[in-house]
Structure 1
Amino acid sequence: MNQHEHYYVPTSSIWPIVGALGLFMIAFGAGHYVPEVTQGKEGFGGWLLLAGLTTIVLMCFGWFGTVIHESMKGLYSAQMDRSFRQGMSWFIFSEVMFFGAFFGALFYARIFAVPWLGGESNNIFTHELLWPDFAGTWPVAATPGGKETEIMPWQGLPLYNTIILLSSSVTVHLAHLSLEKGKRGPLKAWLGLTILLGAAFLFLQAEEYIHAYTEMGLTLHAGIYGNTFFMLTGFHGMHVTLGTLMLLVMWLRILKGHFSPHKHFGFMAASWYWHFVDVVWLCLFVFVYVL
């Protein structure tokens, strides 16, 4: 008789519906919060957005805690491990498509929309009608109101952040190698350094945003350049924040003695995500800051 592999079927859980509720509050709250900020209106959008974020954080602690507890009890089989790997792979693929859409918007603006508005491709009459003084070059440093915007250079903070993220990719890899060799001391040190590098990146990005808003006139209202700049760098910053939190959870689990050289997919999934975030930043640094 063939022996079938054990497969764990979890019991019913409240966390999926809690997560759906949290995401709904985030979307609904953010949609109302943006006009409150940009137009000075009063409303409940900010509080609803905060409630949604709090709900998601509680869901993550509860749901991930359940999964960790089940894993530590030895309920998961090799088949479950393959399921987790497939799930994380598809999640990262969805993130690739997410950023692919935003990079597509950037390329469309640079290759088609801006030259078309500047009078290229036999659209000289449209150019004269819509914006006669517009020069179809990138980055666009002027808005229809005539306000000039400084361009964010790649030197300085963006370059420092690139070095920081590249270094963090190396340190998380060294932490992974230490885990596979059973060296808990270097594992804690390298992973802790990776978390500090992620926090440093976020701090410098906040400094960059403050500098852009207060001294360069580079804001969300600064035309297509300002829109794409903050859209791409802002969403990437959110992903760095998520990745840093994931690594922090892994570090806390390591302090409690979790993971072994042969069973550590939770750590591996977090490191996959961190390498993905680094690759996205390299593309962003080249196409948004350098070119």
Structure 2
Amino acid sequence: MNPRKAALITGSAKGLGKMTALRLAEQGIDLIVNYVHSQQEAEELCERVRALDVRCHVVQGDVSKPADRERLVEEAIKHYGKLDILVNNAGPFIRERRLFREYDASEIESLMQGNLLGVMHLDHLVIPMMRASGWGRIIHFGFGHAAEARGWPHRAVYAAAKVGLVSFTKTLAVEEAASGITVNMICPGDIRGANKERYIEEVRHVHDEESPRGRPGTGEDVARVISFLCEERSDFITGNIMDVSGGLDPIRAIVGAASAVKGTVE
């Protein structure tokens, strides 16, 4: 890309965010790597990025906190004078299966702030810069089949936040299309553990019984889609909710009548 672009990737010290950072760095995009607790991993990633002759800076910040979100953008402007790409990768998730009534108020607040309100706030902070330059790429993260607004037992708060983000993605895409800004959502499949930082070639011959594709998903599967959306000529692709799941439907939880009565989760 010319002139050079600058990107902020939230939650990019590890996992899918890390793989996205490496992919964008290979495209010559300068980066802000964000972490909450994983400082060492963030610093190590920045060294890898700089080895690709790309500028990189590490910024600590929790996207569920408004002041941290503002500081992330301020640091990007301080180092690069602008932000062209925002990848909203970070977002709290509680893997333990729970009924909605088992969440406390602070957990509900954190999940909504980190997965919906915080994303909207970050978008609101960067859009003026993107409008001024006539170019921008905003990426949101969802879950498989989020566009269908289906119920997801045991994930009520997270699902509500992401489904709300689906509508916001589509609305913002239309509002900002004429400004040269595209807005899309990536919905990864059930990519777990070390696979988040693996390449497709590493798992090509690994069998996954749950995956219709037959192999597990990787961080590269997600990162390569994001990098495509960030290309200069991808300006006609906006307002899309893209499943990167190998055909897997993640909403498989069943809540029986007995569990509803006893207050337990099957």
| TM-score, normalization by structure 2 | 0.31
Query: Is the helix fraction higher in 1 or 2?
Result: 1
| TM-score, normalization by structure 1 | 0.29
Bigger Rg, which one: 1
- Greater relative CO, 1 or 2 (CA 8 Å, sep 6+): 2
